[in-house]
Structure 1
Amino acid sequence: MEKAQSLAEELQEKLAVNKATCQCSEERTKRELECLQQRFKAAFTLFRYLKIQAKASADLNMACAFFRIKHQEGVGFVDGHSMPLSKWSKNANISEFESSAEEAAEANDDWYAADIFSLVRMITFERVTTKIDEMEISVKLALNTINKLAEQLNNFEQEAAVQRERATDYEQEAAIQRARATECAQEAAMQRERANEHEQEAAMQRKRATESARELFLLKQKFAAFKSEAQLVFRRIEALASSLEQRKEKLISKTLQLHDEKALKEDKVQELMNENVRLQSLVDQKEAQLVALNEQLKLTSLSERDK
């Protein structure tokens, strides 16, 4: 579960880093494109402005005001960078140059105006040409930079697409890991419930074991008492057995004696029976003799009576 959670956290961190990288690259590219577009627009605007200013350079006051031409004592006419204009007269009257267009028209100084116009045209066209060349170079550089940035943008878009695909894969993997983490958490919860049940069961078993130990202790005490009683009983039984054995031996000896006496008495009885039989036969003989004597006596008495 911890491995799944750590893997899900790593995938989420990678996803956040990829999203931040894509956003930073897209924002940087957008900023660079906006900057180049602004530069290009500024260059194009300046180019148009220079063209307009070149067309408007025929106006002396506008040209002088635009190029900041002024008169400096001891030097003559200078431009905005204090560079001397050699073709201009050092003794020219600056008041006529600094006056308005209406005062210059009233002066009717054709030669002076033509000289100033030619000089202004020369300076204007030189600067305009230089500016145009610089702007063309800038535009080419800007176009090259824009093309490079477009290529970089395409590369960034492709990389962003790859990063988005990776981010999608990471999101799917993170979802899978979260699901696994959820399953692991559920399984851990079930394991904790089972552990709690096992702990409760173990507590009940310990309680039962304590009760069983107590009962066993009581049973041991009872068994010890019963054993002592049994030993006493066994001793008594042994004593009784020994006394019974002695009595048995006495009875056996007496029985043998009685058996011998019985045999003797049986012999005597047999002898007595034999004697009885003999005496009975004698008695029978005597009775027969008595009967014969009685008969003789009767005969004798009868004979005597007859006589």
Structure 2
Amino acid sequence: MEEDGPSRSGLPPVGECEWREELRQQQSQVEALRDRLVEVKVGMRRSEDDSGRELEHLCRRVKTIATLLAYLKSKARIMAIPHLAHTSCGIRNQDGVGFVDRHGVPLADWSKAAEPASCGAGSDDRAAAEGSGVHKHGDAVEGDGDVDDILKSIRVVTDVMESLVKRVIVAESETANEKEKVRIGLEEIRRKTIQVESMSVKVEEMEKFAVGTNGMLNEMRQRVEDMVLETTRQRQRAAENEQELSRVKNDFESLRTYVSTLVSVRETLLSSEKQFETMEKLFDSFIDQNKVET
């Protein structure tokens, strides 16, 4: 009853209003989708333009990176050849000094300096290669962080290669010095070996002489022992001789006393004989006197 009221009053039914409202919403959504589609098409055209420019930019970056890598490869090939590596690093052989780098620093002082800075700071061929790559593709590398990083990496790698060249030269020089020291050491060892062999021969001769001397010493020891025994016997004989001498002295004293006695007796006898002769003469004279008197 309530639904028939509006129909009879001339108002549209409720379902038709809802349908019209929904239709308006759908039309507004279609228009919004149409506007969105237009925006998407415009965005796609812009994206295609941006993609083309980005692709062109990427191509330039790739060409720049390829140029830098080609330079790095050529640098590596140069570093593999000693005299070209020396020329690339500015290393030369100066009379009276030996190897010096591009700054005139001698080989002995290379280890005191920062090798990458001293060797790579003035690398003309590397700067030319990098400059050619940058100027050829200037739009691609201007403000490009990746290319800048690659340039820095190439600088670092180049400096490291040049530093390795210096280290190789230093190592070769040290190796030559060590070889010379080894040669001198071997000569000294050979000389010492000859001296040791000569001393060994002398020691063998001295051992033989010592063996002979030992025999002589044994003989001399035996002779000394014999002489000691002989000396002992001689001492015994000397003691016996002293005893005999003492006995002879005693006998001599006795004999001298006896001789003295005999001498005194002889003198007495001589004196008696003289007295007897005197008496005989006196007796003869007495007899002669008696004969005369008669």
Per the normalisation by structure 2, the TM-score is 0.43
Structure possessing the higher radius of gyration over alpha carbons:
1
Per the normalisation by structure 1, the TM-score is 0.42
